[in-house]
A = this chain, B = another copy of it.
Amino acid sequence: MTAPDDDHSRHNARMKRLKIARDKLQARRTAERGLLIVHTGNGKGKSSSAFGMAIRSIGWGMRVAILQFVKGTWETGERNFFAALSTDLVSFESMGEGFTWDTQDRARDIAAARRGWDRAKQLIMDPAIDFVVLDELNIVLADDTLPFAEALAFLADRPLTKHICITGRGARPELLAMADLVTEFGEVKHPFNAGFNAQKGVEY
């Protein structure tokens, strides 16, 4: 049997923990707050849809940061477009060394993913930025090129003042569980299968 004083302080401590939990929940129930968005699946459009959200946000005067984890230095339409844009509302960076089947160097992939993640954390914590796109992050999380548990813990404590959109096939279930908005891009028909090359504007 415990003394009444002990009971009292335990009750208070429990209520305090409950209130913190409830406040956290309430904060997440606010009708408008930053969303964690995931685009996954084998279909086309995961990245381009994130770019489309980016331009919508810019159209509202929001500040956007786009960070590409897999794409390296090769020329793409999106890089050309954002580089030529005469606004300081968007930044565009590619941290990757290319696809794994290009680099064939696991240590180099891990180092590139780490550099990308360090930059991602800076962007997410930057109060001036309203929308962060982490393009193809799912790819480096899928096989722990970037340690998934570490990324998940950081995202769980993310500031709720901005949207974050993570793209790439093979999103891990714990990430989907944490996300507010998930779209599965299903491949119904792909022109590669009909003998077409990857084409400018559509694929890159």
Q: Which residue of B lies closest to A184 (CB)?
A: B186
CA distance A76 to B85 in the complex (A): 19
Interface status of A127 (Cβ within 8 A of chain B): no
CA distance A176 to B188 in the complex (A): 9
Interface size on A, residues (CB 8 A): 62
Tell which of B55, B79, B184, B186 touches A59, judged by Cβ atoms closer than 8 Å: B79
Of A26-34, A103-111, A114-122, A142-150, the one with at least 4 CB within 8 A of chain B: A26-34
Main secondary structure, interface of A, reads mixed
Interface residues of chain A, those whose CB is within 8 Å of chain B, are 29, 31-33, 35, 37, 39, 41, 43-45, 47-60, 62, 76-82, 84-86, 130-131, 163, 176, 179-191, 194-197, 199-202, 204
Inter-chain pairs besides A29-B194, A45-B183, 11 sampled, C-beta below 8 Å: A37-B202, A41-B186, A43-B183, A49-B52, A53-B201, A55-B81, A60-B200, A179-B189, A180-B194, A182-B189, A184-B187
